[in-house]
Amino acid sequence: MATIKLFDKSFEPYLPEALILEKIKELGQLLNQDYAGKKPLFIAILNGSFMFAADLFKEVTIEAEICFIKLASYKGTKSTGHVITAIGLDTDITDRDVVILEDIIDTGKTLNEFLPQLRNQHPKSLKVAVLLHKPDATVFPVDIDYCCFSIPNKFVLGYGLDYDGFGRNIREIYQLQE
Ligand code: IMP
Ligand code: MG
């Protein structure tokens, strides 16, 4: 894996595809145990989580549903601090065991704003599964129930994560070179 240049920035290899998939497989097995017989509803947050959600859902072998919503707060490599709901929830979550799937928790703003809105709809349970968490960047508290990788506070790219819309199709995760 070589360095990648995108617009004005360079990114270096960080998490190889095989490691990402291994962690996702472990998470899938854990969810299969924790949610056996519960028919959970996974809610994946677009755009960033589409690849994580697809690979994780293939590891889920229990009866489960998945749906998608679109929230956004990022422009370029910085959070704008505003969370916009671009595509809303079309599924009734009342009395359901809900698992949110998110690519990354950075400031925590997105989920910190969104989770209370979901709680208002009275799910039976509400848990959060993330691929990546940047603990040093988190300012808005979010309870994370499942996390594949805890990473330093550096911008990352690939495996669904973008830099101004590009780079989502990269199979590995790259880190901004400073
Ligand atoms: P938060 O609201 O600050 O936690 O940011 C959450 C959203 O910002 C994530 O769902 C991502 O879409 C985006 N994001 C945060 N950090 C990164 C990054 O390092 N690379 C690409 N996107 C990111
Ligand atoms: Mg996202």
Residues having CB closer than 6 A to ligand 1 are 48, 73-74, 79, 102-110, 155-156, 161-162
Q: Is 136 a residue of the active site? A: no
The answer to the question of residue 6 being in a domain is no
Q: Which helix (H) or strand (E) holds 12?
A: strand 9-15
CA of 103 to the centre of ligand 2 (A): 5
Where residue 25 sits, what CATH number does that domain have? 3.40.50.2020
Domain that holds residue 84: 20-155
The answer to the question of residue 46 being in a domain is yes
* pTM strictly above 0.75: yes
Given a cut of 70, whether residue 57 has pLDDT beyond it is: yes
Query: What is the rounded CA–CA span in Å between residue 30 and residue 141?
Result: 24
**Residue range 110-160, pLDDT digits in tens:** 999 899 989 999 999 999 999 999 999 999 999 999 999 999 999 999 999
The answer to the question of residue 8 being in a domain is no
CA of 46 to the centre of ligand 2 (A): 6
Which DSSP letter does residue 73 get?
A: E
The answer to the question of residue 163 being in a domain is no
Number of Cβ atoms within 10 Å of the Cβ of 26: 13
**Residue range 59-113, pLDDT digits in tens:** 999 999 999 999 866 556 666 666 767 678 889 999 999 999 999 999 999 999 8
Within the chain, residue ranges assigned H as helices are 17-34, 50-59, 109-119
Please identify, by atom number, the ligand 1 atom nearest to the C-alpha of residue 106.
4
